[in-house]
Amino acid sequence: MFNLPETHFSFGGDEYIYAEISRDMRIESNFKALAVTDELRNREIPGIIEIVPSNSSYLVRYNPDIISARDLQDYLKDIDLTKSDLTKLHFSVRIVEIPAWYDDPVSEEYSYRFRHRHPAPDLSDFEFVMKVNGFTDKEAFIQSHSETPYLITMVGFLPGTAWQFPLGLQPNEIIQSPKYNSPRTETPERGMGLGGAFNVIYPVSGPGSYQLIGRSAVSVVDPTNKLEDLKEASFLARPGDIWKYRPINETEYEKIRNEVITGKYRFKMKDIELSPLEYAEKGKQYIQELMEDY
């Protein structure tokens, strides 16, 4: 029996229940948060206003005039219990390719513009991330980062921002980095950031403290609904999906940008069934099997 961590519930004022599965980031905790919140949506319990899964927790907002806090907590405990056994969980998700220009000039420009906020002001963000992870060769770093699939564990902060956690790696294999000492006041749209073990793509220009290691050629949010694959929700990120970076050069970057701007770009995606049990049993081998022929 593969049991997931026990959840601790707490009340937030008169309208919120916060469910903490674990204090630290664990993939199995995120699987449980996704499973519980999916089931909550499916049940359509009267009085629930909003359901927000996070990296290793979830938050539920409710109307106390329709459902009491204690009754809702009982619902949550019941669902949480049914989603605590890995052998009974599976997810229908997508693998999505993200064409990425690593160490691009715009990211480098922003690195030096905000160097006074950086822990190593003499280095670009890209150089800093390479250094703290023991890389001396640029291409080796790009290969290591891009060959790792990343699980979308949470969406938030700026609309469409996806927190991505590496799959199938041991802790000593994960590329990670300290954040800025104090946040930038501006970040380029589609900038690829790394903070701790998490990756993000900034959907729009705005503040940020993650190290900039490159730039996505594709938009992760499309309020104009020009892109066929983003017409349904305008946002690319879905919790539980897997993103895979593909390194590209400047020429391909500009080609893809033109396709995105004209609405002709189609994302490379693959629908899969993700098994938390197989992930727990086989780890990296299971992820490699999922990524075959992609």
Residue 191, pLDDT > 50, answer: yes
Give me the pLDDT at residue 3, please.
62
The pLDDT of 6-23, averaged and rounded, is 92
| Sequence-ordered list of residues with C-beta below 8 angstroms from that of 27, at least 6 positions apart, any chain | 151, 165, 167, 279
pTM for this prediction: 0.92
Under DSSP, the state recorded for 5 is P
Q: Write out pLDDT tens, residues 84-99.
A: 888 888 899 999 999 9
* pLDDT tens digits along 199-241: 999 999 999 999 999 999 999 999 888 999 998 888 999 999 9
Average pLDDT of the chain to the nearest whole number: 92
Percent of the chain predicted with pLDDT > 90: 78
Confidence band for 1, pLDDT divided at 50, 70 and 90: very low
Cα angle 242-248-252, degrees, rounded to a multiple of 5: 120
Over range 237-254, report the average pLDDT: 96
Which of 1-10, 250-259, 263-272 comes out lowest in average pLDDT?
1-10
Sheet holding 48-53, edge to edge: 8-12, 16-20, 57-62, 48-53
Give residue 198's pLDDT: 95
What pLDDT is attached to residue 176? 95
Return the DSSP state at 98.
E
pLDDT band at 292; cut points 50, 70, 90: confident
Residue bearing tokens 């490699």: 288
**Would you say 147 and 238 are in contact if contact means Cβ atoms under 8 Å apart?**
no
Are 198 and 157 in contact by the 8 Å Cβ rule? The answer is no
Name all domains of the chain by residue range, CATH numbers in brackets. Answer: 8-88 (3.30.1360.40), 92-291 (2.40.100.10)
**Integer Cα distance of 70 and 194 in angstroms:** 40
The candidate with the shortest Cα–Cα distance to 104, out of 206, 236, 291, 256, is: 256
- Decide if pLDDT at 4 tops 80: no
Average pLDDT over residues 146-159: 90
Helix (H, G, I), strand (E, B) or coil at 102: strand
Rounded to whole angstroms, the Cα distance separating 162 from 151 reads: 9
Return the residue matching tokens 């480098």. 108
Torsion of CA 281, 282, 284, 286, to 10 degrees: -110
Instruction: Work out the pLDDT band at 2, boundaries 50, 70, 90.
Output: low
d(CA 11, CA 73): 9
Beta carbons of 52 and 91 less than 8 angstroms apart: no
Burial class (CB in 10 A: 0-12, 13-18, 19+), 278: middle
